Amino acid sequence: MRQGFWRAVLGAQTVDNGGGFLIYLSDILFFRMDNLPRIVITGVGLTAPNGNNIAEFRANLLAGKANIREIDVRYMGKHPAGICDFEATKYQTRRELRTSTRAGSIGIYCAHEAIADSGIDWENFDKARVGVYVGITEHGNVETENEIFNISQFGNDTKYWTHHHNPRTVANNPAGEITINLGITGPHYTIGAACAAGNAGLIQAAQMLMLGETDFAIAGGTSESPNTFGIFAGFKNQTALAHHKCPNKASRPFDKARNGIVISEGGCLYTVERLDDARRRGAKILAEIVGWHINSDASNAVLPNPVRQAECMRAALKKAGIRPQDVDLVSTHATGTGKGDVQEIIAMRDVFANCPHTFVNNTKGFIGHCMGAAGTLELAGNLGSFDDNLVHPCINIDELDPECAIDGLVIGAPRKADKIEYILNNSFGMLGINSTLIVKKFS
Within 119-218, where are the H helices? 141-152, 165-169, 173-182, 197-211
Mean pLDDT of 418-425: 98
Mean pLDDT of 23-30: 37
DSSP state of 381: H
- pLDDT, residue 372, reads 97
Mean pLDDT of 351-380: 97
Task: Please report, in angstroms and rounded to a whole number, the separation of the first and last CA atoms in the chain.
Answer: 14
Mean pLDDT of 359-378: 98
Share of the chain above pLDDT 70, in %: 92
Spell out where 175-262 has E strands: 188-192, 216-223
If you average pLDDT over every residue of the chain, what do you get?
Answer: 93
Mean pLDDT of 383-403: 98
Task: Tell me the pLDDT tens digit for each residue of 152-185.
Answer: 999 999 999 999 999 999 999 999 999 999 999 9
Mean pLDDT of 46-62: 98
* Phi–psi pair at 437, nearest 5 degrees: -125, 135
Specify whether the CB–CB gap between 352 and 328 falls below 8 A.
no
Q: Specify burial of residue 101 (Cβ count, 10 A radius: 0-12, 13-18, 19+).
A: buried
* Phi–psi pair at 230, nearest 5 degrees: -60, -40
d(CA 360, CA 424): 10
Share of the chain above pLDDT 90, in %: 91
Give 1 or 321, the one with higher predicted confidence: 321
Mean pLDDT of 9-32: 39
150 Cβ contact partners less than 8 Å away, ≥ 6 residues apart = 160, 161, 162
Is residue 280 over pLDDT 60? yes
**Could you tell me the pLDDT band of residue 443, with boundaries at 50, 70 and 90?**
confident
Spell out where 319-389 has E strands: 329-331, 359-361
The bridge status of strand 266-274 relative to strand 390-391 is: unpaired
Task: Tell me the pLDDT tens digit for each residue of 65-94.
Answer: 999 999 999 999 999 999 999 999 999 999
**Could you tell me the pLDDT band of residue 34, with boundaries at 50, 70 and 90?**
low
CA distances from 91 to 88, 104, 109, 182, 266 (A): 6, 12, 6, 10, 16
